[in-house]
Amino acid sequence: EPEVTQTPSHQVTQMGQEVILRCVPISNHLYFYWYRQILGQKVEFLVSFYNNEISEKSEIFDDQFSVERPDGSNFTLKIRSTKLEDSAMYFCASSVEYSNQPQHFGDGTRLSIL
């Protein structure tokens, strides 16, 4: 069964550094998402992406964050200048349609900011 893959599985970065998290969504999916989960807390929506542009973003997704689909397969999340509070699991998800369809999640990237 096709799946969403994320790399790396664990990223350790110094505060203030830039980090890029990578995702390969399922190939025939059109909608892409990033979520994060701070340890022990609920999964929070960051951003959704369709047709090469952001569809919706949350308050968390401030100017430090950006997303890109640089080619036909990858979907990336960039954090420009990381803060300690950015430490979390970051999950990529994709879906065939935006509504009434399940979202398929990757296993996440654990981001640790030192």
What phi, psi does 35 have (nearest 5°)? Answer: -130, 160
**CA-CA distance, 52 to 84, in Å (whole number)?**
30
Q: Could you write out the three-class secondary structure of 54-77?
A: EEEECCCCCCCEEEECCCCCCEEE
**Near another protein in 25-54, by CB under 8 A:** 33, 35, 41-45, 48
Q: Does 59 bind another protein (CB under 8 A)?
A: no
Of 88, 103, 111, 113, the one binding another protein by CB under 8 A: 103
Residue nearer to another protein on the CB measure, 35 or 86: 35
Binding site for another protein (CB under 8 A): 4, 6, 33, 35, 41-45, 48, 56, 58, 91, 93, 98-108
